[in-house]
Structure 1
Amino acid sequence: MTSTEAVTAGFQELYGAVPDGVWAAPGRVNLIGEYTDFNEGFVLPLALPHTALAAVRRRDDDVLRLYSADLGAPQVELRTEELAPRGDGGWAAYPAGVVWALRQAGHPVRGADLYLTSTVPTGAGLSSSAALEVVTALALNDLYALGLTRPELARLAQRAENDFVGVPCGVMDQMASACCTPGHALHLDCRDLSQRQVPFDPAAHGLRLLVVDTRVRHALGDGAYAERRAGCEEGARRLGLSHLRDLPYPELDAALTTLGDERLRRYVRHVVSDDHRVRQVIARLDAGDVRGIGPLLLAGHRSLRYELRISCPELDLVVDTARAAGALGARMTGGGFGGSAIVLAEEGAADTVAGAVRTAFAAAGHTAPRIFTAVPSAGARRLTAPTA
């Protein structure tokens, strides 16, 4: 039984009806450009083959029924007109928040039955929440014929996470889940959401991009992420800028001398430098020099580790071990304080690098990491047509 068949069968067993369709939205891994999205800067994510699936049926009343096959918890039943941000809704807050955001934007969304499952690891910095939001948004967009574009859906999904769930994330995760294409990384300008698909196919160059899930679970709602966002905004204000994206990289050093707060200097230095690294990585990919991005990944990790200070011992161990074992580059990815790292290695060395990381984790007494190959995959899509 395929995943689509399984989620359809699960829906029928739970709700006693046939779904109107099945939709999918992927998690993502970010190649470069971290904490730049809410600074209206640049990012370069790619979609993973891991997806959230949703079998959905439109209702003619205001009842919203949600079920997660992964949790096996009781079905959650809500009323759409009573949805309000509370910050304590657990997993159901993500799809419910999307319904709330659509209604707040004036779209005529009423009830729905949703049966959800996901292969995106949770808490691993791979955007499991964004996948859940985007798959819900795409399904409702189709079922209610809202006519919203992918960037519009991503913005609404971001609003759901910001204002309903209470996590002050930027828009990168939702845009990546909604808009990525196979064999490409998404060059996204987070100011105007303009985008370009940049060819990125490590396998075609004899390379492999590994994702190492440290299994150290992070939670971005615990205040550390929000503190850094506030610090970036304060740094921009003190520099007389709308956002840090407006500080040209050649003017960075001079600007830093005007900031008396060492913490703010670190935050500003990271953001402006990482925006610059995004441009450098794209230039190398456009030139066909995929191997040449390795040193930039390492530089990005050093910045996240020492400037933004959002790494952890397990992430640093991945990067240091991978480099020593012959990887071309590595860095933590995502919001930090746990989660995942990426490793770029020659195909012939990838298994050796992965083995070295596992050995290092065992020697350090850490939980064994989960390691898999990141294959640039498709963004959100409908998997089945409407049922007659």
Structure 2
Amino acid sequence: MMHTCDSLLSVICSGACDAILSDLYALDKSKTSLEAGKKRASHIVQAFQTTFQPESSPAALFSSPGRTEIGGNHTDHQHGHVLCGSVDMDMLCCAAPNGTNIVHIYSEGYRPFQVDLSHLEPVKGEEGSSAALTRGVAAGIDALGHPVGGFDAYISSNVLSGSGLSSSAAYEVLIGNILNHFCCMDALDAIQIAKIGQYAENTFFGKPCGLMDQMGSSVGGTVALDFSVPSSPAVHKVNYDFTRSGHVLCIVDTGSCHADLTEDYAKITEEMGNIAAHFGKQVLREVSEADFRAAIPSLRVRCGDRAVLRSLHFYNDDRIAIQEAQALEQNDFPRFLALVNASGLSSSLHLQNTWSISDPKHQAIPLALAIGRELLNGSGAIRVHGGGFAGTIQAFVPLEKLEPFKSGMEKLLGAGKCHVVHIRSVGGCVVAQ
């Protein structure tokens, strides 16, 4: 059944959506979180009504989560393994078809814009914008033979920008789900929507990203990915309920900026690629670890010690990502925590992506890791989060230590810098229709 905005509000207020809203936002099992989720959903529907003043168009509510990298730091671009998860910070949107070719987007905190879907080619000067992503997702769906049409959308996001939770992937998955629902009769699955999002980001937005971010947002839950075939990674959903672990996942914003770090990121790919090239290969996944280790003396001379260390990290963390998924499926959370710590140590010592050599005075991530490790005092786990060099760290904190950990981190970095997030089981979805 399709709802108008008024009936959509009634559905939310009546409690008919409580089950899915609990899956999205009440992962701490509290009534307070559920009520906050219902209030936010109602606000977005009401704001949509005020902004677009629809008459009787069928409206729907959509959610698209941010994602967190759990294991496999800088392994995807070498065709390795990654473990990631969708989180309860999301983009929540009320949308309705408008019977035209024009998409109207109103996102809280940003200037509204529109995209004409009668033109589905990249537009010069549009690169790097949400408009480019919108056009790219529509083009990807159109290329699969599905008609696309205009819609009006009001979006509210609490996916932290620059947090490593990948707000761009969440946006792509959101637009993919809206068009899938209104234009494709929900024919596309989560993996197809993720691939369309990557296509939009690569071809229209202008960022040569892998597929991990979109998969983590679209599929939902904890997902093990094998990038042996990057265009079509193997996807395995890991069945584990983090709410039963006795730990809380914290994403800590160190206050450091990713700007001007392009060369740092590029050097990781370049140096790993140089090691692979020694063996006549493109990526390290194609080189056996035994052959790599046997050649380390000559690789030090040809490629340098840092390239060797970074490649050593690839083999270590590629293996760790697999083992983390296995530990969760075997309900062995202590082993999982040990593996997260081992991954973090490898990133710090081998990958060397916790601070930039171009600015050695600023080392916010190593400092936050050091203080965080003291606060955990041998419990939980802590590591750099995402691409590194600046940005965020990730910690699995025992429930009994959450308050001192959070206050200690915010004493160091500032109020509001430690964010408690939960792994949610649902990816991009229609919340109510």
Fold equivalence (TM over 0.5):
yes
Q: 2:394 aligns with which of 317, 342, 357?
A: 342
Specify the alignment match of 2:338 in structure 1: 295
Structure 1 residues 352 and 131 mapped into 2: Cα distance closer, same or farther (>3 Å)? same
Q: Is the 8 A contact 2:76 2:210 kept in 1?
A: yes
Partner SS, residue 94 of structure 2: strand
Q: Provide the aligned length of Structure 1 versus Structure 2.
A: 376
Question: Could you tell me how far apart the structure 1 residues matched to 2:250 and 2:127 are?
Answer: 34
Question: Could you tell me how far apart the structure 2 residues matched to 1:221 and 1:207 are?
Answer: 32
What whole-Å deviation, never above 9, does each CA across 1:242-289 have from its counterpart, x for those lacking one?
532233445442254453212433432222221111122223323322
Question: Could you tell me how far apart the structure 2 residues matched to 1:282 and 1:353 are?
Answer: 26
Once the two structures are TM-superposed, the CA of residue 298 in structure 1 deviates from its matched residue by 2.7
Q: 1:195 aligns with which of 235, 243, 246?
A: 235
Structure 1 residues 278 and 93 mapped into 2: Cα distance closer, same or farther (>3 Å)? same
Once the two structures are TM-superposed, the CA of residue 294 in structure 1 deviates from its matched residue by 2.9
Range moving further from structure 2, 257-266 or 3-12: 257-266
Once the two structures are TM-superposed, the CA of residue 337 in structure 1 deviates from its matched residue by 3.1
Is 1:309 the counterpart of 2:323? The answer is: no
Once the two structures are TM-superposed, the CA of residue 173 in structure 1 deviates from its matched residue by 0.9
- Name the larger-Rg structure: 2
Is 1:318 the counterpart of 2:357? The answer is: no
Partner SS, residue 389 of structure 2: coil
Q: Is the 8 A contact 2:115 2:134 kept in 1?
A: no
Is there any run of 5+ residues in structure 1 with no aligned partner, and where? 362-366
TM-score (norm 1): 0.86
Partner SS, residue 116 of structure 1: strand
Q: Which amino acid aligns with 1:334?
A: G
Range moving further from structure 2, 233-242 or 283-292: 233-242
Partner SS, residue 71 of structure 2: coil
Is 1:10 the counterpart of 2:47? The answer is: yes
Structure 1 residues 64 and 345 mapped into 2: Cα distance closer, same or farther (>3 Å)? closer
What is the identity percentage for the equivalent residue pairs of Structure 1 and Structure 2? 26
Is 1:61 the counterpart of 2:100? The answer is: yes
Q: Which amino acid aligns with 1:320?
A: A
Question: Could you tell me how far apart the structure 2 residues matched to 1:151 and 1:254 are?
Answer: 39
Specify the alignment match of 2:422 in structure 1: 375
Question: Could you tell me how far apart the structure 2 residues matched to 1:235 and 1:53 are?
Answer: 44
Partner SS, residue 48 of structure 1: strand
Range moving further from structure 2, 85-94 or 294-303: 85-94
Once the two structures are TM-superposed, the CA of residue 219 in structure 1 deviates from its matched residue by 5.4
Is there any run of 5+ residues in structure 2 with no aligned partner, and where? 1-37, 356-362
Partner SS, residue 214 of structure 2: helix
Once the two structures are TM-superposed, the CA of residue 187 in structure 1 deviates from its matched residue by 1.2
Question: Could you tell me how far apart the structure 1 residues matched to 2:416 and 2:88 are?
Answer: 19
Question: Could you tell me how far apart the structure 2 residues matched to 1:29 and 1:126 are?
Answer: 5
Structure 1 residues 223 and 316 mapped into 2: Cα distance closer, same or farther (>3 Å)? same
Partner SS, residue 240 of structure 1: coil
Structure 1 residues 152 and 243 mapped into 2: Cα distance closer, same or farther (>3 Å)? farther
Once the two structures are TM-superposed, the CA of residue 221 in structure 1 deviates from its matched residue by 8.7
Q: Which amino acid aligns with 1:383?
A: V
TM-score (norm 2): 0.78
Q: Is the 8 A contact 2:99 2:150 kept in 1?
A: yes
Q: Is the 8 A contact 2:384 2:394 kept in 1?
A: yes
Q: Is the 8 A contact 2:382 2:393 kept in 1?
A: yes
Specify the alignment match of 1:279 in structure 2: 322
Q: Is the 8 A contact 1:212 1:369 kept in 2?
A: no
Partner SS, residue 328 of structure 2: helix
Specify the alignment match of 1:157 in structure 2: 197
Partner SS, residue 335 of structure 2: helix
What whole-Å deviation, never above 9, does each CA across 1:193-226 have from its counterpart, x for those lacking one?
3222223334423222222122434359945434
Q: Is the 8 A contact 2:121 2:139 kept in 1?
A: yes
